Each structure stands twice: as C-alpha cells, then as structure tokens.
Structure 1
Amino acid sequence: MAEDAIVLWVRLEAEAGHVLPPPFWASAWTGGQALAGYILDHLDTVAGRHVLDVASGSGLVAIAAAIAGAAGVTANDIDPYSIAAISANAHANGVDLTLSSCDLLDGDGDGVDVVLTGEVLYHPSVAARMLPFLARVGAKGGRVLVGDPDRGHVPHDWLDRVATYEVPVSSAPEDAQLHLTSVLKPRREQVDDRRGGARQLQA
C-alpha cells in the first residue's frame, strides 16, 4: 500500500519515462475492503471453491478468499504493476494465488465457482463491460459478489444488497472517516435477461 498514491504515481511515471495508468493497486478501496470483510465473515462463500477475483488491484479480496479456505484463487488484473503488488502482498500474507494479467471480460469465468470483484463500477464505460461479464458468469451457475460504495453506476434492478459495512477511508493523512459500502449479488431471475450485452446493463 502507498502512503500517497499520487506521489507514487508521479514517481513511477518518472522512472518509466511515459504515462502510466493510475496505481489503483496501491490503495485498499472501500469496495474491496467490504467484500474482503464479507468473505471472512462468511467463510462458506468461498471455502472449498475455485475463486476468480477480477480487477484484483492490491489482491486484498483474493487474499481474503485464500485465507477463508478457497480451493484455489486466481487474482486477475490487466495492470502489470498490480500483478507485482498482488504477488508481494500474497507472499506477505502467506497465501498462494494464481496470477492472471489477461483481459477476461469478454468471457464467462471459464467454469470458476465464485467470481469476486470490488470497486469496479466507478465509471459507466467500465460498468458497461463488467456487468455483462458478471451476468454471463451467473448464467452459467457461478456465484457473483460485488463490493461497491455506490458511485452511481449500480443497476439496482439487477443487483441486490446482501450486506453493508462501515469501511474506514482517509481523505487526508490525519482525517479518517467511515463510508457505508455494500456487498451485492445478482438476482437469479434477472441473469438471463442481462447477459446479452452492455446496452441493457448501462446505468
């Protein structure tokens, strides 16, 4: 984790000599914190199952799934810096993860039992790709859980809240506050209608 993600971003770009995507992997986002907390509160969600954590970032949710007893956990993120951070964080926590840097969002989870994803509905264009992917996973019988602090792009006609957490966030180094964050799952009866494409799923 970075003490200041912006300072880290500037330093990494200076070292790389070109523009880099934001270091989303350097912070424990509230959606991921809530989802990790839910998994550790409900071990049966992942215990003995094969789990895919999409847009894993720092690996927080994937690590929680491994600690909770998943049979195997794949942490996926397209940012190579994220993959390096996940590897370091998994090692620090004494868990084994499979790392994947492929873009998986055109697929259907490839037969995994559980797909987890935290803080991925932060922008309409991202939600437009992520939500059809999650619907396809659900249509094949996979369990889907999403951690989200309600940034305005959640399709509430499709995702139901299963838990709410007060997650600590910091707006300044000396100023910590709590943010209500939800853990969501798809309504089973809506999955088949929603898997067809991004048009229906845009918020």
Structure 2
Amino acid sequence: MEAFVREHTTARATEFVPEVVLRVAEDVTPLWELTGSAEPPFWAFPWAGGQGVARYVLDNPALVAGKRVFDLACGSGLVAIAAALAGAAEVTACDVDELALVAAGMNAAANGVALIPLVADVLATTVDADVVLAGDVFYDKDMAAAFLPFLFRASDAGALVLVGDPSRPYLPKDRFELQARYEVPVPRSLEGVTVLTTSVWRPGR
C-alpha cells in the first residue's frame, strides 16, 4: 500500500499550513478510479476544513500540548500531524479507510512525528481523549447526521471538540460556537473555486 501511495502522490508543503508536508495527488478522478472505492481518496488531498483546524491548532498549541488527541476521519493525517507538532502527548489518527492510515503514517514520518493508527468506525462509541478534532466532515447530509452525535458525546464527556467547515450547508451553526475563520486556498479541481472561507467551530449550548 505504501508503494501505491508513493506512486500516485507527490510530497509537498501544504499551502495554508506550510509547516506540514503531505503526499498529494494531482487529480482526484484518476486516483479514485484506481482505488476502486465507493468514496473518494480523501487521504490524497489537504481538504479545506482540515487545513483550517490544523492552522488553528498550530497557532494555538496550548489547546493540545501535553494532551491526548483524537483525529476523527483523519484522511491524509494533516490535522493529526499538526496536533503532534503542536506538542500533543499522543495523537490517534482514525479513519475507516485503511489506505488513509497508510498515507497518514507516511506523512507523519515525513514530518518527524508519530501517530497511533486506528482503522475503525467509531461513530457509535465515545472515545477517551482530551481533544477531538475533525476536519471537513459535514460534506453531505447523511454524514453530518452520523458525525454530530459522536462529536456532542465527546464534548459532553469533557473533551475539547474542534471541527473545521468550509461553508458546507450541513453544519448546524446554531449548535456551535465560532472560534476562527480563514480564507483557505484549495484546488479548483476539487472545489470548483481556488479559495474557500473556512471556519473552526466548537460545540456550544
């Protein structure tokens, strides 16, 4: 699997989070066809929501320093790597896609940090972590409905929960508190635009 990731991606600094180097694909469609998966290769691109959370964590390292961090739907590992670089005691990178964890592990090694990989669907559970991070998980109505209970359970259990959202229509903003807003550069081939207004939120009451 590492050979597949290496063959179809190139290592480069993330434009909005240049502290983090990721292996990135040139075009989503050909790679998606090669994976044969029903889902796009989320691990091969720095999505806007993840860039926003990563930027916020790196700019506010005290949020994660010395803490146990859980990165939900980690994809490339961008957010998890940012947390590790910001001084987290340990970072679990979780995704349902095994290939994502392979890519995240490769990216972590390239950035000189270590992640705890977890290939699992944890949405029906409550994780034991001080901080839960999620970048760009509100990309469709069904996924938003699946992720919300998990995030609010984590918050109710005492974890700091931060989510990144690049103006998707499925984040219920009335249930969250705005923490930061950024203008994040994105590939036109993914989003149809070159910049997305991206916000970082935490569950509110």
TM norm structure 2: 0.84
- Paired letter, 1:6: T
The equivalent position to 2:75 in structure 1, one of 49, 57, 62, is 57
Unaligned runs of 5+ in 2: 1-23
Task: Give the match for residue 8 of structure 2.
Answer: none
C-alpha separation between the residues in 2 aligned to 1:131 and 1:34?
19
What's the offset of the Cα at 1:107? 1.1
C-alpha separation between the residues in 2 aligned to 1:33 and 1:107?
26
Task: Give the match for residue 33 of structure 1.
Answer: 51
2:167/2:196 contact within 8 Å kept: no
- Paired letter, 1:27: F
What's the offset of the Cα at 1:35? 0.5
**Alignment of structure 1 residues 144-163 onto 2, 5 Å:** 144-163=161-180
C-alpha separation between the residues in 2 aligned to 1:60 and 1:105?
20
Task: Give the match for residue 9 of structure 2.
Answer: none
Instruction: Sort the Cα spacing of 1:61 and 1:159 in 2 relative to 1 into closer, same or farther, 3 A.
Output: same
Secondary structure at the residue paired with 2:186?
strand
- Corresponding position: 1:4 with 2:22: no
- Corresponding position: 1:80 with 2:95: no
C-alpha separation between the residues in 2 aligned to 1:82 and 1:64?
16
- Corresponding position: 1:182 with 2:203: no
Task: Give the match for residue 127 of structure 1.
Answer: 144
Secondary structure at the residue paired with 2:50?
helix
Task: Give the match for residue 39 of structure 2.
Answer: 21
RMSD: 1.5
What's the offset of the Cα at 1:150? 1.8
Instruction: Sort the Cα spacing of 1:178 and 1:98 in 2 relative to 1 into closer, same or farther, 3 A.
Output: same
- Corresponding position: 1:170 with 2:187: yes
Unaligned runs of 5+ in 1: 14-18, 191-203
C-alpha separation between the residues in 1 aligned to 2:59 and 2:174?
26
Bigger CA radius of gyration: 1
Deviations 1:69-112 (A, max 9, x none): 00000000000110111111111111000000111111122x20
Seq. identity, %? 48
C-alpha separation between the residues in 2 aligned to 1:176 and 1:153?
19
C-alpha separation between the residues in 2 aligned to 1:148 and 1:20?
23
What's the offset of the Cα at 1:63? 0.2
Deviations 1:105-154 (A, max 9, x none): 11122x20000000001111111110000110011111000000121011
What's the offset of the Cα at 1:172? 4.6
- Corresponding position: 1:106 with 2:124: yes
Count of aligned positions = 181
Deviations 1:159-182 (A, max 9, x none): 111100111012159x97221100
Secondary structure at the residue paired with 1:157?
helix
What's the offset of the Cα at 1:20? 4.3
Task: Give the match for residue 92 of structure 1.
Answer: 110
TM norm structure 1: 0.85
